[in-house]
Structure formats: structure tokens, C-alpha cells
Amino acid sequence: MSVRIGVVLFPGSNRDIDAVNALRIAGAEPVVLWHETADLGGVAGILLPGGFAYGDYLRAGVIARFSPVMRAVADFATRGGPVLGICNGFQVLAEARLVPGALLRNRGLRFVCREVSLLPERLDSPFTREIGERRSLRMPVAHGEGCYYADVVALDALEAAGQVLWRYAAAGGGIAGPDDSGNPNGSLRGIAGVSNAAGNVAGLMPHPETASEALLGSEDGLGIIRSLVVSAAEWERTGSITGARVAMAAEAGR
Amino acid sequence: MSEPTATYRFAVNVTPKPGILDPQGKAVERSLPHLGIDGVSAVRVGRRVELSVAGPDEASARSTVERLAGELLSNPLIEAFEIEVLGAAVGTAG
């Protein structure tokens, strides 16, 4: 039986179908979870898809944070279950304090919709383990508030703890700093995605789920989706995930 | 539970914390020369939320607003807020 992964549907989610499609390609059974439910239906992993949950009113992701399903997702994360937020899903996780930092309005002020090159920082995390080799991954971004921010002390701590999972790649190689053209939104230190301290919750602004089959122009994102699926299967089987720090799983709830 | 006796009106002003990039403020600032205005700088764009809170007294209504402002209306990582009292609104809540 294939592993069941919940895809949370908020009013305003619009990448849920792409998420469902990518999960199927990655060999999982997607289960769509409505935002009003507090019952995750026994899924082994959670994917928060992109879109504009609750119209992005007030701040992107903040209203979604207080929905019944997110309380259940926070409990799931505290138990060590794998949770991946993509784009708006990352914003929801950041507002819910399930991953560190905040996503500010893009530095260039415009909504940015284009392809970027993404560098996985490490290949041993629950969300990068299936990427295979360290190379830049082509996938789209589409957001207005994706500028990753945390203060300098927090950024240093994230880097030291290995919580930066992905960065934007500069056109000439290396990491794209806030003013580099490879960085679509001004994210500090080129950060495109991070995990919590425990390692079982992660978010990123780019869209691996829409780069999961050659027909869509790139399948570079599939390794990230597969990583979620493999980690969910492992968690269901063993109660822990390779690369996640189980002893610190309680941190996930903070 | 005792019945609320009055409704108080507040405003919460949310602004980006000092040092936090505010591209909206920058865009406003850059548009000013087109209006023929100089000498304006450090434009910061925030938001203002006005709300009425029912409670036995102003202090308890204000503590509700403080909680709301810290947990929902602002993100303490990047935004600061100030609460303004707009006065006791109407007599009885209902």
C-alpha cells in the first residue's frame, strides 16, 4: 500500500491539484484535507500547497494559522511527522512559528513568476534525501511575499544548525545574495527554504510540485517531493525519520 | 460569566520594525519627485486596524486588544504595534 500524504486545502489554495499530481508521480496516495477538519485521517505526512489561503488577508498565511486543520498539523509536527510547506504553505508554517523566520514583500515589490535555480544545501535531510546529487535544480517561483527574513543572530544560528535547506543560485554560480539577479525576492543570504530545529518541518518558496514531470518543463522538483514521501513512509514504519532529530521533535510545536 | 457592560473602541497601528526592508515605503518615496515634492524621507507603510471590544472596563478590553495585536494583527518578528484608545463607544454591548 502506498503511503498516504495529506494535502491541506484552504479557501484560496490553488496549487493543490499540482501537489496531488506530484505526490502521485512520487508514488504516494494523496488525501485532500479541508481546512475546517481537525482530523488528519491517519496520514503519514503533510503537504501545505501554494495559493492565497484566506485571500492572504492581513498577512500571507496568518489567518490559515488559526484554522482547525493547522492545530492538528501542529500536533502532528510535534509528534515528529514530516510536514512540507510550499510557497503559501511556507508562509503559513512561518506564521504558525513551525519554521523560523518571516516572509516579507519581495524586494522588487512586484509579484515574481519565473524559473529559478535552487541549490540544495544538504542532501541528508528528510526533505532533500532523494535529490541524489548536489546540483542546481530548475523550478518556478510565483509569489509576492517571498523575501526570507530573520535577524542576523537567528540567521547565523540557522546556518550553524544546518536548518537552511535550499538557497537561490547565482547566474554565475554560487549563492545568490539579496541583490543578485538569481534571487527573485531579496531573500537574505539567498535562503529559499528552511527547516525547524527538529528537522521534520520544512518550507520553501519555489514550486517543486510544478517541476515534477518532464511534460511541465522540468522534473528537478521531484526529488524534494519524493523525499517527503520516503520520509513519511519511514516515519509511519519506525516512528522516526533519518536526518530528523527525534529528541528535539518537541521543538516542532513551538 | 458576567455580562459585558460597555464597548470600547480601539485602533491598532502596525508598522515595519526599524531596519526591516519596506519596499512599499520605498516605492512611495520614489514616486514623490513626480509630484514635485522634495525633502520627504524615511517613508514606512504599515496598516491600521480599528475595532470595538466589549468588556467590563477599559483595562480588560485593552488587554484583549494587546493579545490580538501581538498574536494576529502583527508579526512580532518584523512588525511593531501601538494601540490607540478611540474612546468608550456605546453604552451596552448587545
Q: What is the DSSP string of B67-87?
A: HHIIIII--TTTEEEEEEEEE
How many Cβ atoms are within 10 Å of A111's Cβ, its own excluded? 13
Nearest chain B residue to A110 by CA: give it: B23
Contacts of B59 (CB under 8 A, 6+ apart): none
Copy the grid coordinates of residue A52: 492565497
Is B1 inside a domain boundary?
A: no
Instruction: Give pLDDT, residue B87.
Output: 76
Q: What is the mean pLDDT of residues A180-186?
A: 96
Which is higher by pLDDT, A173 or A250? A173
Does the pLDDT value for residue B3 go beyond 70? no
Banded pLDDT at A249 (limits 50, 70, 90): very low
Contact residues, chain B, for A62 at CB < 8 Å = 72, 75
Does the pLDDT value for residue B90 go beyond 70? no
| Secondary structure of A83-152 as H, E, C letters | EEEECHHHHHHHHCCCCCCEEECCCCCCCEEEEEEEEECCCCCCCCCCCCCCCCEEEEEEECCCEEECCH
Q: What is the mean pLDDT of residues A210-220?
A: 92
Contact residues, chain A, for B21 at CB < 8 Å = 104, 107, 147, 149, 186
In chain A, % of residues over pLDDT 70? 96
Interchain contact, B72 vs A105, CB within 8 Å: no
pLDDT single digits (tens) B56-66: 999 999 999 99
Q: What is the mean pLDDT of residues A100-118?
A: 94
Is B58 inside a domain boundary?
A: yes
- Cβ-based interface (< 8 Å): residues of A facing B: 58-59, 62, 66, 95, 101-102, 104-109, 147, 149-150, 186
| pLDDT, chain A, mean | 93
Instruction: Give pLDDT, residue B89.
Output: 62
Q: Which of A1-10, A69-78, B33-42, B75-84 has the lowest mean pLDDT?
A: B33-42
Is B75 inside a domain boundary?
A: yes
Instruction: Give pLDDT, residue A156.
Output: 98
Instruction: Give pLDDT, residue A108.
Output: 86
- What is the number of domains present in chain B? 1
Nearest chain A residue to B28 by CA: give it: A109
Of B24, B72, B75, the CB nearest to A105: B24
Q: What is the mean pLDDT of residues A81-102?
A: 97
Banded pLDDT at B1 (limits 50, 70, 90): low
DSSP code of A182?
T
Contact residues, chain B, for A186 at CB < 8 Å = 21
Interchain contact, A105 vs B23, CB within 8 Å: yes
Instruction: Give pLDDT, residue A101.
Output: 97
Banded pLDDT at A134 (limits 50, 70, 90): confident
Q: What is A4-253's CATH topology?
A: Rossmann fold (3.40.50)
**Residue from B20, B21, B47, B79 whose CB has the most chain A CBs within 10 Å, to mutate:** B21
DSSP code of A239?
S
Cβ atoms of B68 and B10 within 8 Å: the answer is: no
Is B94 inside a domain boundary?
A: no
From the CA of A80, how many Å to the nearest CA of chain B?
25
Does the pLDDT value for residue B30 go beyond 70? yes
Contact residues, chain A, for B72 at CB < 8 Å = 58, 62, 66
In chain B, % of residues over pLDDT 70? 88
Is the ipTM here above 0.85? Answer: no
Is B93 inside a domain boundary?
A: no
**B 41-80 residues with CB < 8 A to A:** 72-73, 75, 77-78
Write down the domain spans for chain A: 4-253
| B20 inside 8 A of chain A by CB | yes
In chain A, % of residues over pLDDT 90? 86
Is B33 inside a domain boundary?
A: yes
Q: What is the mean pLDDT of residues A72-85?
A: 98
CATH number at residue B60: 3.30.1280.10
CA distance A246 to A235: 11
Question: Domain residues for B67?
Answer: 6-88
Banded pLDDT at A171 (limits 50, 70, 90): confident
